Amino acid sequence: MSFELSAGGDIPLYRPGNLADAIALLQAHEDARPLAGGQTLVSMLSLGYAQPSAIVALGAIAELRGISRLDNGSVHIGAMTTHAELAACRSFAGGQALLASTAAQIADPAIRNFGTIGGACAHGDSVADWPPALVAADARMLVDGPNGQREIKACDFFVNLLTTALEPGELLTAIVIPAIAGHGIYRKLARVEGDFATVSVAVTAAGVAGVCQSVAIGIGACGPCPMRLQQAESLLIGRPVTESLALEAGHLLAQAIDPISDVRGSAAYRKRVLPRLVAQTLLEVLA
């Protein structure tokens, strides 16, 4: 494998101070790429997987930053928020704790210091951590672009391998997490700490007197996009979640996934280990 420490040639770098200018720059330069935290794009530049005509850095755009808690209990997260900021965030309540749990397990400290939730989501890697968590959290993805603003539900945003619902020239500007009852935890099985997931499970759930009132289970790294299965969730509602019931939900999910075999695990291995990871995470959230 040959690579350079940076892409050859002179790529112009723009640093717009507001969103409108950023969108205009992306329109003006065909094959321009937005730059968020750089933890993915810069490696793609170095490896020659991306050869943009221009880079539009988003770091100076204030409206893309910040985490705020809204009156209805939902949390508005600017796309340029780093994983480290989300891991340390104190604005989450109830099942929104899933987000801090997820952020803390992304890669390693250096990546978390600079990688952003917006950049990660826009990249749409099927083995990444945010997609299953945001799908479990029923997050809304706020988008802006040449044709104006729109909202996309997380379950509609992650479309395929490295493919999102973003149209050319659109930017993910923020992610809104609704109020979620109970608690939330992210767990992943990986070859080593810091690796992408072999399989991952994002759970929010609330129980009263041991009976499950609400639950959401998002599965990562088991297919081209994150998965939820209504059948697995309905199984648990209104019932005390024992280990065997939790495993039953896990098995329903394992039957529904269609994972590939890759360096992180075979398809058969993923199907084999998913039920127990689902069960363990469910029990942990409801404990």
Interacting span for other proteins (CB under 8 A) from 65-73, 161-169, 180-188, 189-197: 189-197
Per rule CB under 8 A, is residue 224 in the interface with other proteins?
A: no
How far, in Å, CA of 147 to CA of 164, rounded?
17
Closer residue to other proteins (CB): 59 or 178: 59
11 belongs to the binding site for other proteins (CB under 8 A): yes
Is 182 in contact with 250 (CB distance < 8 Å)?
Answer: no
Structure letter (DSSP) for residue 197? P
Check binding of 36 to other proteins (CB under 8 A).
no
Say how far apart CA 95 and CA 204 lie, in whole Å. Answer: 5
If one asks whether residue 103 binds other proteins (CB under 8 A), the answer comes out as: no
87 binds other proteins (CB under 8 A): no
User: Is residue 31 a contact point for other proteins (CB under 8 A)?
Assistant: no
Contact 56, 31 (CB under 8 A): no
Q: Do 121 and 157 form a contact (C-beta atoms < 8 A)?
A: yes
Contacts (Cβ under 8 Å, ≥6 apart) of 77 = 67, 86, 99, 117, 174, 175, 176, 177
Per the listing, tokens 């992180």 go with 264
The 116-145 contact track toward other proteins, x by CB under 8 A, reads: ------------------------------
Check binding of 43 to other proteins (CB under 8 A). yes
User: Which range of residues in 153-161, 190-198, 212-220, 228-236 is near other proteins by CB under 8 A?
Assistant: 190-198
Report how many residues bind other proteins under the rule CB under 8 A: 34
**284 near other proteins, judged by CB under 8 A:** no
CB of 181 to other proteins, least distance (A): 30
Least separation in angstroms between residue 112's CB and other proteins is 9
C-alpha of 221 from chain center: 11
Query: Which one of 20, 47, 88, 161 is in contact with other proteins (CB under 8 A)?
Result: 47
Provide the Cα torsion 118, 124, 129, 132; round to 10°. Answer: 110
- Coil, strand, or helix at residue 100? helix
CA distance 220 to 38: 23
Residue from 21, 114, 257, 273 binding other proteins (CB under 8 A): 114
Q: Tell me how far apart the alpha carbons of residues 261 and 275 are, in angstroms, rounded to a whole number.
A: 18
> Interface with other proteins includes 54 (CB under 8 A)?
yes
Specify the DSSP class assigned to residue 259. Answer: P
Candidate list 21, 24, 29, 46; residue touching other proteins; CB under 8 A: 46
Tell me, what DSSP letter sits at residue 253? Answer: H
**Options 17, 66, 194, 210; binder of other proteins; rule CB under 8 A:** 194
The answer to whether residues 67 and 51 touch, using CB atoms and an 8 Å cutoff, is: no
Residues 254-283 that bind other proteins (CB under 8 A): none
Residues found near other proteins in the complex (CB under 8 A): 3-7, 9-13, 15, 35, 38-39, 42-43, 45-47, 54-55, 57, 59, 84, 107-111, 113-114, 192-194
